[in-house]
Structure 1
Amino acid sequence: MFEKTRLFCGRDFVFKAIQKFFITQNKGYFSVIGDAGMGKSAIAAKYVLATKFPCYFNVFAEGRNNPEKFLASIRQQLIKRHSLQNADNADLRTFLQKASEELKGQKLVIVVDALDEVEQEGNGNLLDLPQNLPDGVYFLLTRRLYNQETKRLTLSPDTPVDELDLTKGDYTALSREDVKEYIHLFLKNDHKLRSWINERNISEDNFTQEIAVKSENNFIYLRYLLPGISEGKYNDLTLKGLPQGLQDYYTTHWNRMGMDNESNEKKVKILYILVERGEPISINMIAEILDEDEYEVKSVLNDWVEYVTPKLNADEQKTYYSIYHRSFLEFLKGQDKLGKGRKLFKEVNQSMANYMIKEIK
């Protein structure tokens, strides 16, 4: 959560809209909607840090995105928060009713991030969210843009609902101002980035304006690009030559790393394993699947460290890796549309299948 909020700034208009809904309604669902990388998870994390309300962050790349894990986490948080008794096996609606009875006039907000990353069969509400809520209970949801088929949130007529779409109307201009504030904050704290623009006789205001436009209001773009400039990865490019938008950034970085070269096929396969695995995986498992040296695998993951999340399993004293942001995972999946990508994806899947057969034996 610290990583999501480390350079958080702005978004006052979002929090004001959220608070207005919670004050004026006796219960209900409020959704923050936007494209991948627009800062929805950071908004959710910042709200949780400020309020200490229960939360659940769906993460597709780690397999943490189904109703069972959601309910188990929320149940545990609420039992601890309200000392609930005899609630271990209650469904979510019953559980929320018990929590509501303990509120004694206080509000309970449950924050659920990335509802679009949930994997769930059937036609009911995602995460089995209740159609009706007890008084004093609210859900703050974040999700990507959706159509009615993927929305999957059917509510009773007496359940208040509202949303804020970061891609629409005045919110676009407000988001652009927040992006500029983020860039100013980064410049203030990074002398190497200031040196980059000074060496090119670019004013800070001009740099901020140009990067804000190129970012397309995408904070993940800024999270990747600004440190990259600071680290000298774009010394051969002009301000105008920097990538336009998140997808162009991924494509530019992929090409600059020479990932389509035959000599880098091993590197591509290692990244593809992170895609196909669907949950965190250790270096030694990747090495065994591909019959590669662990040092080689670690070296590749280090080259892509800003795109990969390492997490230490304290019980095993082993580090597991997964894709940091779903937008990069989807970019990697998109490579299998190319002839070479399809070939390598097939080889990775075959290697993983062979590994599983060997483990079963």
Structure 2
Amino acid sequence: MEQTETLLALFSSEKAALNQAQLSVELSISEPTVKQRMGEIYRKFSSSFPELSDQQGAGKLKILQTKLIQKYYQPSQPVVPTQASNSSPYPEEFISLIEEKIRRFCGRQFVFETFQQFMNANPHGYFTIVGDAGMGKSSIVAKYVSEHKSPCYFNILVERRNRPELFLKSIRRQLIDRYQLQNSEDADLPTLLARAAAKLTGTERLVIAVDALDEVEQEPGGNLLHLPKNLPTNVYFLLTRRPYSLDKKRLLVDAPEEELDLRDSQYVNFNQDDIKEYIRFVINTDSDHKKGLRNWIQTRNIPDTTFVEQVANKSENNFMYLRYVLPAIAKGVYNDLSLKQLPDGLLEYYQSHWVKMGMEAQPGQLMENVLYILLEIGTPIPCKMIAGIAKVDECDVGKVVEDKWVEYLKKQNVEGEICYTIYHASFLDFLKGKREMDSKRKIFKEVNQRIAEYLEEGLG
């Protein structure tokens, strides 16, 4: 009861926890008694929040407050309109993407809280999450959409799903279905938003989530995705993009706007905490990789805390690094390496895998050609087309896309045919870097020549 009394007094305000001196006055007890009670509180919560055991000295109170807020505190959220019983909570085209992104989602509570504060402080506006490739921007959007069933659009460069007309078509259909908008099949975005806003009641808000503005392909002139400069009351956009210089800014608005840059120094500790939480989840809970990871860790007599700390440091706060490296460890790819020998950062990981697959030793091999063909084509294509361009057997291409490079490629059904594209923009960037450096072997010139020949034969 004493510890419960202390805990309730400690967090009596949502804004800030009391310190030991303030608790002493509040509870009319001595500071040593407060210290003793807090020690018991930390000990009891350490089983739920292992970070408390890892933290030595100051900082435990902040960890406890952050974790309790993440686990139990639910701020007021936008009201979700009732969906028709036969409709999907989000667009069918993005269901698999959203489900994949949220399957191992961890943390990022500070992002959601900052966005909530922005909405509370402004009657409408644009809120943009900025971060490097692999920092989890798409997952943040997917998590928000999955919880609030918000209208959404994911710009995907490698699938050519990244043009203004496709965005408007999707958002128009979502808003018409959600708010039962009449005679809106040809309405532009400002009209749609105005009509949807007129349907909002009480404390309702309309939040539209749009991922990867940096991947949008659009002719010069006008706002990015033709987003309106101003917004109706209670209408908000949750956006994400990679960093760019101010002279390349393509979204100009008159409405309130705010950016949260995940790379900012004020978020370093939050990012590290979320990365560590993700690693702990995978090694302790994830059914796909837990066994292999625990075996790798135990074989090397590495304490869990050491593994979590060092892999987090090597990740450079990049979730995409963990998405590749942790499964690779579990599968035995790094059985010949120690913890310190694991790749540092996402680009080094890509390069080390490139070398492991013999790409440097045997330039121009089928695996390399397949990846370059996918890079140059830029849209989902079937094995048959890849084989036709590379002038090899279709079965050989199948071994590459289904075995050798399966983690890096996205498989999807396009009009009844299984097609492949590059999975993530960061790997796309890595391959483009290879293209820029490939001035001697001229592989890309050869690949483009073969693509041209294949297309000419098809037309003929």
Decide: shared fold, TM above 0.5. yes
Determine the structure 2 residue equivalent to 1:44.
141
1:306 equivalent to 2:407? Answer: yes
For residues 243-294 of structure 1, what are the alpha-carbon distances to aligned partners after superposition, in whole Å with 9 as ceiling and x for unaligned? 0000011011101111123376211110111111121111111111112111
Alignment of 1:116-195 (within 5 A): 116-156=214-254, 159-189=255-285, 190-195=290-295
1:125: Cα distance to partner? Answer: 1.6
Determine the structure 1 residue equivalent to 2:362.
262
Is the 1:336–1:342 contact (alpha carbons within 8 Å) kept by the matching residues of 2? Answer: no
Q: Percent identity?
A: 52
Is the 2:343–2:352 contact (alpha carbons within 8 Å) kept by the matching residues of 1? Answer: yes
For residues 11-33 of structure 1, what are the alpha-carbon distances to aligned partners after superposition, in whole Å with 9 as ceiling and x for unaligned? 11111011111222110000111
- Bigger Cα displacement from structure 2, 147-156 vs 223-232: 147-156
Alignment of 1:192-211 (within 5 A): 192-211=292-311
1:79 equivalent to 2:176? Answer: yes
Determine the structure 2 residue equivalent to 1:17.
114
- Bigger Cα displacement from structure 2, 190-199 vs 264-273: 264-273
**AA partner of residue 115 (structure 1):** L
Q: Look up the SS of the partner of 1:98 in the other structure.
A: helix
1:81: Cα distance to partner? Answer: 0.7
**AA partner of residue 179 (structure 1):** I
In 1, the alpha carbon distance for the partners of 2:331 and 2:294 equals 12
Which of the pair has the greater relative contact order for Cα pairs under 8 Å at 6+ separation? 1
- Bigger Cα displacement from structure 2, 278-287 vs 37-46: 278-287
1:240 equivalent to 2:357? Answer: no
In 2, the alpha carbon distance for the partners of 1:172 and 1:125 equals 32
Alignment of 1:82-97 (within 5 A): 82-97=179-194
Structure 1's unaligned 5+ residue stretches are none
Is the 2:279–2:308 contact (alpha carbons within 8 Å) kept by the matching residues of 1? Answer: yes
1:235/1:341 Cα in 2 relative to 1: closer, same or farther (>3 Å)?
A: farther
Is the 1:335–1:341 contact (alpha carbons within 8 Å) kept by the matching residues of 2? Answer: no
Determine the structure 2 residue equivalent to 1:56.
153
In 2, the alpha carbon distance for the partners of 1:263 and 1:93 equals 52
1:342: Cα distance to partner? Answer: 5.6
Determine the structure 2 residue equivalent to 1:288.
388
1:115 equivalent to 2:227? Answer: no
Q: Which has the larger radius of gyration?
A: 2
In 2, the alpha carbon distance for the partners of 1:265 and 1:83 equals 55
TM-score (norm 2): 0.76
**AA partner of residue 41 (structure 1):** S
Is the 2:364–2:443 contact (alpha carbons within 8 Å) kept by the matching residues of 1? Answer: no
Structure 2's unaligned 5+ residue stretches are 1-97
